[in-house]
Amino acid sequence: MWLARLLTFLVWALSSWESDGYVWPSRYDFLEDFLAVQSGATIFGFSSIVASCGNGQNNVGRQNSAEWIRAAFHDVATHDKGAGTGGLDASLMYELDRDENLGKAFNRTFADMSSFMNPRASAADLLALSVVTAAAGCGGQKIPFRAGRIDAIMAGPPGVPKPEQSLESHRTTFHRAGFNDSDMIALVACCHTLGRVHGDENQHVTGGEMSDTNVVSFDNTPAAFDTAVVRGYLQNDGVNPLVFNHNDTLNSDKRIFGVDGNITMQAMVDSATFQTTCASVFERMINTVPDSVTLSDPLELVDIKPYIDTLGLSNDGTAIIFKGRIRVRTTNRDPEGFSVAVDISQHYGQRTLIQTSRDRFQGGLSTGFFGESFAWFRFDTQLDPATGISGFNVQLTDFSTGQVEAFDNSGTGGFPVTDGLIYAADRSCLDISPRADGNMTLNVVAMVREDLLLAGGDVYLELTHRVHQQNIMLPRLQTESTPMVMGSAHIRGFVEFTRTIPLAANGWNTVFDIVLVTGDGELRSDFHSSGALTSASCS
């Protein structure tokens, strides 16, 4: 019965980001990490690409933050609100041969996203998150982020605005996408507060030579999310090549900015108004999705978040090894003022309380945008398989008062963990030496409690293949479900299951899940990395 209850809980917990409180595990945990943590003791790498607003990864004239925002805009621009099609769906990856999407910037943006893309982070969600991240990293206001976008599998219709087009053409494009004239002005101004026009791709706009060193900024502060692009237009002393171009046909920003008699631009010259307007219009832009897509509630940063690094069985089967970390949000809390303990629930009513140790590398703190901070606490213990583990709570003890604050996963009874299905990382491996067909070999091992198999059961490996797409920087994700085979090892009540499967050499770093199907339902051990197995021997 305990298994049936746990299975029901796990399915519910993974279903959504609960509006009345975060429940772990969540399908959006991977994205929340990027939203929360940007630097410090533990980082996840996504925002590092725009850690400096002007960063271009040593590419002359490149500015990652500006490219990220404009990639999202170009993806959204062909949305048809009336038809409910298009929007932020990453169809741009299939549309880069069009003259409306000239240059290397969009492929570079997709290359930035590629290693982070997986079943829990679509390319479209990453594009949306890139707008949130780039704006925040450059001094912009907080933009709420919702998840759940679905990637397109083919190109959408053309229609991204181009400088030489008429004002009416631009208005038609924005209105079709659901944006009125004031929205259009704000979107263009907010997108053009960062970055430059590149002469090697748009020489007709920049003038001068066709060279990657020939770049013209939209304003005098191209690496700051500020009002300079607005002031330059209103004061008639700016540098925007789409306002002050000698060829008036190309002055599309000037035509757009003035469409309402400068009412919107006059309002946006105020810094506070500029920031709130940009945050609002960017939020609407990234939430512009096909009618078939339902986005989550806005993701909130998590106060107490566990990370299970190891849930394994010792070689002789005498111990369950349980290691991990607890991330504690310390934005309004003294990181030195409390201790953290993990209160482990076991079978037959048993409990074990273990103390964590505070990470001290780089002060043991990670930081995020808008003054957020997080402290990390590690735990490492061994448990008797006879009583095992079914979950845990987290306890924070205040040093000054002795008060103990318990966290039970938003009132659900605890953070669920199962010892019924264990991924045996120490017995698994990825052989990176190519086979005759050019593929690598992935060998995955799992341990299943014998009592769960008494009435029959099957174990499956669900592997996400990263399928290469010709001339496209992003892979297509394809999940393959294959049965695992019972192995020869029977260790103190646990049965070994194995599966060996080929893995494309250009898609070797991917993720996989292990699923146990019984009469009571499913048990899952999810989101394991094949890339973490490259140091393991397959001999």
User: 97: Cβ–Cβ under 8 A, 6 or more apart, which residues?
Assistant: none
pLDDT at 535: 67
User: 261: Cβ–Cβ under 8 A, 6 or more apart, which residues?
Assistant: none
Backbone conformation region of residue 391, classed left if phi is above 0, alpha if psi is from -120 to 50, else beta: left
pLDDT at 15: 42
Higher pLDDT among residues 363 and 429, named by residue: 429
Higher pLDDT among residues 56 and 78, named by residue: 78
pTM across the whole model: 0.94
Helix (H) or strand (E) holding 496: strand 494-503
How far apart are the C-alpha atoms of 161 and 172, rounded to whole Å?
10
Instruction: Give phi and psi for 415, each to the nearest 5.
Output: -85, 115
Peptide bond between residue 25 and the one before it cis (omega within 30 degrees of 0): yes
Percent of the chain's residues with pLDDT above 70: 96
Give the residues across from 462 on adjacent strands. 481, 513
Give the pLDDT mean for 72-82. 98
328 in Cβ contact with 303 (< 8 Å): yes
Give the pLDDT mean for 119-133. 98
pLDDT per position as a tens digit, 264-292: 999 999 999 999 999 999 999 999 999 99
How far apart are the C-alpha atoms of 451 and 494, rounded to whole Å?
9
Domains and CATH numbers, the chain: 2-16+302-419 (2.60.40), 29-286 (1.10.520.10), 422-533 (2.60.40.10)
pLDDT per position as a tens digit, 439-469: 999 999 999 999 999 888 999 999 999 999 9
Beta-carbon neighbour count of residue 209 at 10 Å?
10
In one-letter notation, the amino acid at residue 15 is S
pLDDT per position as a tens digit, 319-367: 999 999 999 999 999 999 999 999 999 999 999 999 999 999 888 899 9
pLDDT per position as a tens digit, 203-240: 888 898 888 888 999 999 999 999 999 999 999 999 99
pLDDT at 1: 38
pLDDT exceeds cutoff 50 at 2: no
